Amino acid sequence: MRDRGIILAGLVLFLGLITFPAWYSVARGATSKGPQLVLPATEKQCVAPTAWMRAWHMDLLVRWREQVVREGNRNYRAANGRVYSVSLTGTCIMKCHTVKADFCDRCHNYAAARGPYCWDCHVDPGLIRRASR
């Protein structure tokens, strides 16, 4: 076979490409450990039950958005009776999950759920803190 060299080279290349997902993550040092979240220091009570929030926080945020922007209603009465002032930066971030990178981003980056464009407009105070350092 004259073409043995080319065929073998092609096979090696093909195998390398097809197993790419397997060896690339290992080479990069990625682990299978889940995201480690930094919980809020001051607040112990979540706006809604944790399991529910994990599944539905996007839905809640969209409802809040419609409520604040289109109805002008900035008050949210949680299931436990507590009333929160609805503001992504002002309440969610600055009152509770103070460093977005330590909370929101951990899961979002792990799950590659980078869809929401919220932060294109809403300000992450962490950016300024980081920039001013």
121 binds another protein (CB under 8 A): yes
120 binds another protein (CB under 8 A): yes
Per-residue contact string for residues 29-58; x = within reach of another protein by CB under 8 A: ------------------------------
CA dist 65 to 23, 69, 91, 111, Å? Answer: 42, 6, 13, 24
DSSP β-bridge partners for residue 75: 85
In the complex with another protein, the residue whose CB is nearer, 48 or 68, is 68
83 binds another protein (CB under 8 A): no
Q: How far is the CB of 69 from another protein (least distance, A)?
A: 5
Of 45, 44, 48, nearest in space to 79 by CA:
48
Total residues contacting another protein by CB under 8 A comes to 16
CA dist 45 to 56, 97, 99, 108, Å? Answer: 17, 12, 17, 22
Contact 89, 122 (CB under 8 A): yes
In the complex with another protein, the residue whose CB is nearer, 45 or 73, is 73
Contact 37, 106 (CB under 8 A): yes
* Binding residues for another protein (CB under 8 A): 65, 69-70, 72, 74, 88-90, 94, 117, 120-123, 125, 128
